[in-house]
A and B are shown apart, each in its own frame.
Chain A
Amino acid sequence: MWRFLARRLSSLLLVMVVAIVVTFAAIHALPGDPVTVMLSDHSADREMAARLRAEYGLDQPLAEQFLRYVGGILTGQFGLSFRYVHTPVVDVLRESLAISPVLALAALSLALVLGSLVGVHAALHRNRVQDTAIIVALVAGLSIPNFAVATFLVYLLSVKLGLLPVAGWGTLGQAVLPVVVLAIPSSAYVARLARTFMLEVLQQDFVRTARAKGLAERLVIWRHAFGNTLVPLATSAGVMLGGLLSNTVVVETIFNIPGLGRLAVDSIFARDYPVAMAVVLLFTFFYAGINILVDLFYGLVDPRIRDGATA
């Protein structure tokens, strides 16, 4: 187990190093001089330009600047923002930091519950009209992009029926549509998995035994059969969380939510690359971290993966 853990951690480290080098290169490969952007109206002020260059370390050799960049990440400051002059990136991020993970976790919970219910229902009515209808709905749920679904739902629920606010962030009502929109593809995915797993489990001997000893059908299905699909479902939940987190970029843009994803896109347009790259780093670290946790979880429940040569 320890060797497995060490191997996974070393690959995590490699990913982080690559991410740091790539984002550093991206900031420096970009066209335009950041100091010119910062100065805007005062572009003729040579002295101020020199002061800013020194403050941002842009007058240093590239190797020096890279060390500075790594130092900024290790101290959690992430360097200085180009758009908000003199401000550390972490202060620009602070307000947005919690929003994307909250959205992603809420959507994940909704997707797991909804997806399991739909998937089990489909499995129990296999090859009948309900099953077919659900399968078609699942393909649609997986296929229609977030922003297209959001368009329909906002038009129907907010504009036509006036039930929910169109956009914004802060109240519970404003959170409903973003979470639902974010959760739809994952729900479809969970439902598909749950249906497949249930179809397999329902043919096992222990399900027949449970039925034979006269257990209530509800108990047979939910405790005995569904209980055995939980491990693969939990594993897929980890993978989904990473996907959901990066999809918050889209949902935050649609609903005007001041989260990390929208901040990243805004920062690219504002040429505030240190902020955009800090978000890229945070998302990547988080994504890689989740993948490791999923692997560890898998390793704990399945010794074949833990002891196998390749994970």
Chain B
Amino acid sequence: MRSMLLRRVLRQKGAVIGGTIVLSVVLTALLAPLLAPHPFDATDLLNTWASPDDVNPLGTDQLGRDILSRLIIGARVSLAVGLSVVTVTLVVGVSVGMVAGYFGGRTDAFFMRAVDIVLAFPEVVLAILVAAVLGPGLLTVIVALSLVWWPGIARLARSLVLVQKQELYVDAAIVCGTPAVKIIWRHILPNIAGALLVRASVGVGFIIMAEATLSFLGLGVQEPVPSWGSMIRDGLPALRTDPMLAISASLVIGLTIIGFNLLGDGLRDALDPRLHGR
């Protein structure tokens, strides 16, 4: 089953291109300290906005820091946020969705109302609200984005549980006197985990985009830690004289998100044969 899925993914050109991009970003993030030619926070005020040369392959920023090194470390920040948010949303969303779907009734109504209310807030605005309360920073980004993303996962988990509940094996487990928690955790979850994981991975590209957006607005990761979004923010005012910073960061973030989205689309299509040929 698993190798069939892999073969189906590999058959799609877009997914292969996306997968290659994602793999190189992940490797860059893992090997960042080895790859970066300079420390990302080493300032050199006598060498600000330097043009690309042998020492600084992409030049330096407004504080004389090596742009290439900061881009490489920035990959870590993006992926760390993406991974944390996916983990939090999966844990929260799946727990809420499964409990709501399995027990139904008032529990279901309560949780789904909460989901509706969160979804009624525009995403960027909700993130601004969280940033105002917690103050800008990495934790703020993770909390804000998790808050925005868990309702989608909860809805999906709920609908998947509703389907599984019709199956005979659930009735059998109930008749055997298995406690509800065990049925949810040991019997139903393994059957819906695949679909949930794919759905969560499809969202990584958008989470990385949202992280960059918050950092671009100044509400995200704070100095001296580099984020691609805040690098673009720093680079925009100097676009006329020293375009290297803003342009290179824009290029990297654009490519990364395209990679994640191509891979996500490919995974989704491979899992859903109905979409073939569309």
Contacts and interface: CB of A to CB of B under 8 A. Distances in A.
Interface stretch (B52-60, B97-105, B123-131): B123-131
B36 interface: no
Nearest to B120: A15
Interface in B223-266: 229, 232-233, 235-236, 239-240, 243, 246-247, 249-251, 253-254, 257-258, 260-262, 265
B203 interface: no
Interface in A1-51: 11, 14-15, 18-19, 22-23, 26, 29-31
B253 A145 contact: yes
A113 interface: no
B90 interface: no
A147 B232 contact: yes
B250 A148 contact: yes
Contact of A268 (B14, B132, B229): B132
Given A11-B116, A26-B133, A151-B236, A139 B218 contact: no
A250 B216 contact: yes
Contacts of A246: 122-125
A276 B217 contact: no
B34 interface: no
Nearest to A290: B122
A82 to B, nearest CB: 12
A140 B258 contact: yes
Nearest to B208: A145
B135 to A, nearest CB: 7
B133 A30 contact: yes
Given A246-B125, A250-B124, A280-B129, A145 B240 contact: no
Interface in A268-303: 268-269, 273, 276-277, 279-280, 283-284, 287-288, 291
Given A31-B135, A147-B232, A151-B235, A284 B250 contact: no
Given A26-B132, A143-B258, A249 B240 contact: no
Given A151-B246, A247-B124, A143 B257 contact: yes
A139 B122 CA distance: 23
Nearest to A288: B120
B122 A287 contact: yes
Interface in A125-173: 136, 139-140, 142-149, 151-152, 154-155, 159, 166
Given A144-B258, A265-B219, A154 B125 contact: no
Interface string A100-116: 00000000000000000
A250 B239 contact: no
A249 B210 CA distance: 13
A238 interface: no
Contact of B120 (A29, A276, A284): A284
B213 interface: yes
B277 to A, nearest CB: 8
Given A22-B129, A29-B133, A264-B128, A152 B247 contact: yes
Given A151-B247, A268-B219, A273-B132, A143 B122 contact: no
Question: Which range contains the number of B residues in contact with the other chain?
Answer: 35 or more
B132 A143 contact: no
A136 to B, nearest CB: 8
A242 interface: yes
A280 B125 contact: yes
Contacts of A249: 124-125, 128, 217
Contacts of B125: 246, 249, 264, 279-280, 283-284, 287
Contact of B261 (A139, A242, A250): A139
Given A268-B132, A280-B129, A283-B125, A291 B120 contact: yes
A199 interface: yes
B121 interface: yes
Given A145-B212, A152-B250, A242 B122 contact: yes
A136 B229 CA distance: 24
B88 to A, nearest CB: 20
A31 B120 CA distance: 27
B68 interface: no
B123 A196 contact: no
A144 B129 CA distance: 24
A77 interface: no
Given A26-B132, A147-B232, A151-B246, A159 B117 contact: no
10 contacts: A14-B113, A14-B117, A139-B262, A140-B258, A147-B213, A249-B217, A253-B216, A277-B132, A280-B125, A284-B122
Interface of B: 14, 113, 116-117, 120-125, 128-129, 131-133, 135, 205, 209, 212-213, 216-219, 229, 232-233, 235-236, 239-240, 243, 246-247, 249-251, 253-254, 257-258, 260-262, 265, 278
Given A18-B117, A29-B133, A147-B233, 4 more contacts: A143-B258, A145-B229, A250-B124, A268-B219
